[in-house]
Structure 1
Amino acid sequence: MDEIDMAGGGRDELLAAAVRLREEGRHEQARQRLLALAARYPEDREVAYQTAWAHDVLGREAEAVPFYERGLDGPGLTAEDRRGAFLGLGSTYRVLGRYEDAVSTLRRAVAEFPDDGALRTFLAMALFHTEDHHEAMRLLLTLVAATSEDPQVRRYRRAIEQYAQDLWATV
């Protein structure tokens, strides 16, 4: 990004423009702008999160990690963005084969957002990779029982929930 572009507005305007570029599918341009913003505002959690996302969408997971970590390191994100940062970081760790880090991150996320089914699903995927199959299955069965609209699943909801609890007891 050239200096004219960076000089053309304040932090909020520049961030909004970069996010718009990402949303328009202009991912590399968005990434370049966000890198410049992250250099200018190194403690800004929202800029860090958006920069991580821009790297992730381009398949540059390893480069996304420090930005996700910075985004989650303290206050500054909305609840929605914090959920997204947890999911992005946990998923990225899993993709990179850092399964224990994925589990740790996603456990923190689920503790903070216990009703978020996506976070619980990604935690189950990470747990599978650490060979904690019982907990992974328990999480998924509990989620299916609680959220499925399938009439047959709803019909057997109590049995599914009981089986999920029995799995927990055998761990």
Structure 2
Amino acid sequence: MSDGDLTAYRDGLLAEAVRLREDGRREEARERLLALSEQLPLDVEVAYQTAWVHDTLGLEAEAVPYYVRAVEAPGLSPDDRRGALLGLGSTYRVLGRYAEAVTTLGDAAAEFPDDGALKTFLAMALYNNGRTHEAMEILLTVLATTSKDPGIAAYRPAIEHYAKDLDATM
């Protein structure tokens, strides 16, 4: 089989598995992705999709090695890399691995500084790690800078002020 044929074969199998997941046939998608991952253990896209399907099935512990494989090597698009880092960090948090969640999500938020979802999940992990002031600072900053609510917009300067020091007075 030529490289082009192999790529087309892989792309077709991967697309089919993603469609199955999106159609709610997650267990079938998982079976296909596990087989594909076994055939292509260095393929970061396959690893990411395999992690994702495990997450959707509530199999977080099984998702971790696939997320790690997906983010440790180059090859993911920026959107998929962001999603894989968020998935890995969130999964660490769900598993009670709070320090790893903070590290993963903190690094991801630094890599993708405009991503409010990463910052929000980082704040949750910081909270779980007992770092409540940092968590509140992040959440208040995200709220102040992204909210379309007119009431929040009206108080944006105050919210941003308190985000820096919630114990401060004006």
TM-score by length of 2: 0.92
Distance 1:56 1:166 in 2: 36
Gapped regions of structure 1 (runs ≥ 5) = 1-6
Q: Does 1:153 align with 2:152?
A: yes
- Assess, with a 3 A threshold, how the Cα gap between structure 1 residues 28 and 168 changes in structure 2: closer, same or farther: farther
Q: Does 1:115 align with 2:77?
A: no
Q: What are the residue-to-residue correspondences of 1:111-150 with 2, within 5 Å?
A: 111-150=110-149
Partner of 2:62: 63
Partner of 2:13: 14
Distance 1:65 1:168 in 2: 38
Distance 2:16 2:22 in 1: 10
Secondary structure of the equivalent of 2:54?
A: helix
Q: How much has 1:167 moved relative to structure 2?
A: 4.4
Q: Do the aligned residues in 2 keep the contact of 1:55 with 1:61 (CA within 8 Å)? A: yes
Partner of 1:74: 73
**Would you say how many aligned residue pairs link Structure 1 and Structure 2?**
162
Q: How much has 1:166 moved relative to structure 2?
A: 2.3
Q: Do the aligned residues in 2 keep the contact of 1:135 with 1:167 (CA within 8 Å)? A: no
Amino acid at match of 1:39: E
Partner of 2:104: 105
Partner of 1:83: 82
Give the % identical residues.
Answer: 66
Distance 2:63 2:167 in 1: 34
Distance 2:155 2:24 in 1: 43
Distance 1:16 1:152 in 2: 44
Gapped regions of structure 2 (runs ≥ 5) = 1-5
Q: Do the aligned residues in 2 keep the contact of 1:86 with 1:106 (CA within 8 Å)? A: yes
Q: Does 1:163 align with 2:158?
A: no
Moved over 4 A (4+): none
Secondary structure of the equivalent of 2:84?
A: helix
Secondary structure of the equivalent of 1:118?
A: helix
